[in-house]
Every structure is written in C-alpha cells, then in structure tokens.
Amino acid sequence: MKLKKIVAFVAMLAIGGWYYATPYLAIAEMRRAAQDGDATGFAARVDFPAVRASLKADLQARIGGELAPELRDNPFAALGAALAGSMAGVLVDALVTPEGVAMLLRGVMPEAGERPEAGEGREPVPGQARSPRAADEDRREPAIVERGYTGWNRFEFVVAAAETPDDTVRFIMRRHGLADWKLSAIDLSER
C-alpha cells in the first residue's frame, strides 16, 4: 500500500514536471526545426495569422503614436498616417513567413527594407539545402536572454541578436489544447 502511494506520487511529480516543461520543449523544437530547415515542423509551432495580426496592430499603434503631434499642425499628416498604416501591413506580410520568423528566432534581425527569402546573402528558406558553412553558422545559438510563464496559457521568451546582443525580440507563445504551444505574437518593441 505504501509503495503504491510512493509510485503514484512520483508519477504525479513526473507528469507535473513534464507539463511545466512543455513550452521549453516547444521552443527547443522550433529552434531545431529552424536550424535544420524543417519547414513543416517549424510551421506546426507557429500560428501565422495570429503573429501577423499582432505585428500589424503593434506597428499601426506605433505609427499613430509617433505621428500624433504632427496631426495638429499638418492637415496632410492624417493622409501620411493612413498610408504608413497600410505600408505596415505590407511589411508585416513580407516578414511573417516561415523564413522571416525563422530568421528572427535564429537571432538574425532583418535590415530595413529586407525581405527574408532564399537567395544571395540571405538566410535559406526552411526546407531548402544549405551549404556546410551556412549550416555551421546557423549552429551558433542566439542567446535567449529571458524566458518564463506570464500567465497560465502564455509563455514569453526574448532572443538577443547574434551580431548585436542589445537588439532583442520578444516571442509570445500561447497554449493550444492541453500541452501544445504555438508562437502567437512577436513584439519588436524590445528592439
């Protein structure tokens, strides 16, 4: 009888530990898929529509906040703000692709106007063959400088850029189902 209680207690501790570790395991799977070029495995861990919506809302709020003082003095500022808001949507659509999110996760920050895609001098598309040198460079793990639960169904981690550690990006994951986690938002304001 006493042995059954001990076994049950140990089993509950193991299940609780595994349940607590599920977002950490999901991050490891995402990073491994991004490094190995496994597009299917990577895309399974990212809720692309939610990430796009989150980034669009964030950029539009930023643009509105930065242009608000000029709205009082310039009648054309409202037109500029509307155009900038629509451009934000186009920029987000270009960035939030499996390639773009994988770049951010590897600590590679795209330059202004850069579209993440395969080609000369760019990061390879997940699922596409890489040169041995590029694969070795991808093995350099970007630093995760902060991570942890911010709610029962929300987990956040911050990745520092490989070249410039002061540039960081916050990734927000949400629980889907009992123990599955998906990337649902990216906060570039850390940058």
pLDDT at 14: 96
**d(C-alpha 155, C-alpha 6), whole Å:** 32
∠ CA 103-104-109 to the nearest 5 degrees? 90
pLDDT at 64: 66
List the chain domain ranges.
Answer: 2-108+122-190
Q: Which residues contact 153 (CB under 8 A, 6 or more apart)?
A: 174, 175
pLDDT at 116: 52
CB 29 within 8 A of CB 41: yes
User: What are the mean pLDDT values of the chain's consecutive 10-residue runs (191 residues total)?
Assistant: 92 95 93 84 91 85 66 67 72 82 78 50 46 49 82 92 78 92 86 52
**d(C-alpha 151, C-alpha 144), whole Å:** 19
| Among 184, 144, 139, CA closest to 165 | 144
